[in-house]
Amino acid sequence: MNYLKKKPTTMTPENWMPAAVRADDRAERIREEFAATYDPRSDEHSVWRERVQAAIPAHAAGFLTETRFNGFAPRLLTIFQDGRTRIVSNHPGEEERTAEFRDAHAQIVSELDNSPSRRWELYVTLRAIEAAATEAQAAVELLAAERLRKAEQECPVCGHDDAARIGWVTHRPLPLGRQIRTCELCYAAAVALHATAAAEEPASSGMTTRGEAVRALLMTQAVN
């Protein structure tokens, strides 16, 4: 039996998703994919009835809190009586509203209990919510991994991270015991700039600059 052919057009307990989940269309997209491919007769879904039966009370309570009771969420205690899940309340000061909530909750649970098609739709919804959470977590981890990669491979000087173009980013030595964390190209530029600055500094040997003093020394060595 094909229980779910198209996207629900109204928010019912079996197709309801919490607002935080609906804020991202990931779960709705996944539900549509699951609805088109899931078969309740498949061995993959052989435990769906038991799984949904256990999830109905909490899911129904969340649905009512968000859609009908404007955030009101009485402290509901789940008990098992006569082989069935029952809900009792413990919410002093809100007895009347809690009673309304409890009655509405019992009605939803009963309707879902007596409708295999709606329970199957709820199963698809719950699986979509779980899959969306897993997918979202994977996206977060992927982003974190990319940030780590960029932190490790991005040159803090030029901002590039293409090792094939700029070489590896690491700490490299400069004169006078200093170090600089750069890519190979920025390091070459740093060395060149350092050499240029050193060459332009005044010399105390009678020459105008250190560069001229070095040039004179090299010329002398070349002659000798």
Each residue's pLDDT tens digit, 62-120: 999 999 998 888 766 666 656 555 555 555 667 788 888 888 999 999 999 999 999 99
pLDDT, residue 1, reads 37
Please answer whether residues 120 and 4 qualify as being in contact, where contact means their C-beta atoms are separated by less than 8 angstroms: yes
Measured N-to-C along each axis, helices 95-113 and 116-153 cross at an angle, to the nearest 10 degrees, of 100
The token duo for 182 is 């750069």
Please answer whether residues 170 and 153 qualify as being in contact, where contact means their C-beta atoms are separated by less than 8 angstroms: no
**Range from 100-114, 153-167, 202-216 carrying the lowest mean pLDDT:** 202-216
pLDDT, residue 109, reads 92
pLDDT, residue 99, reads 82
Chain-centre distance of CA 116, in angstroms?
34
Domain spans of the chain, in order of start: 19-153, 164-223
H/E run at residue 174: strand 170-174
pLDDT in tens, 5-33: 444 447 899 999 999 898 888 999 999 99
pLDDT, residue 77, reads 60
Residue 180 bridge partners (DSSP):
172
Q: What is the 3-state secondary structure (H, E, C) of 86-100?
A: EEEECCCCCHHHHHH
List Cβ neighbours of 183 (8 Å cut-off, separation of 6 or more): 155, 157, 158, 160, 166, 167, 168, 169
Tally of CA atoms within 13 A in the half-sphere of 84 that contains its CB: 8
- Taking alpha carbons only, the member of 28, 31, 78, 38 closest to residue 58 is 78
Distance between first and last Cα of the chain:
100
The token duo for 122 is 């709820």
Distance (Å, rounded) from C-alpha 14 to C-alpha 120?
8
* Predicted TM-score (pTM) above 0.75: no
Tally of CA atoms within 13 A in the half-sphere of 93 that contains its CB: 2
**Range from 33-47, 62-76, 202-216 carrying the lowest mean pLDDT:** 202-216
pLDDT, residue 88, reads 58
pLDDT, residue 93, reads 67
**Distances from the Cα of 86 to the Cα of 10, 174, 222, angstroms:** 27, 75, 100
pLDDT, residue 126, reads 93
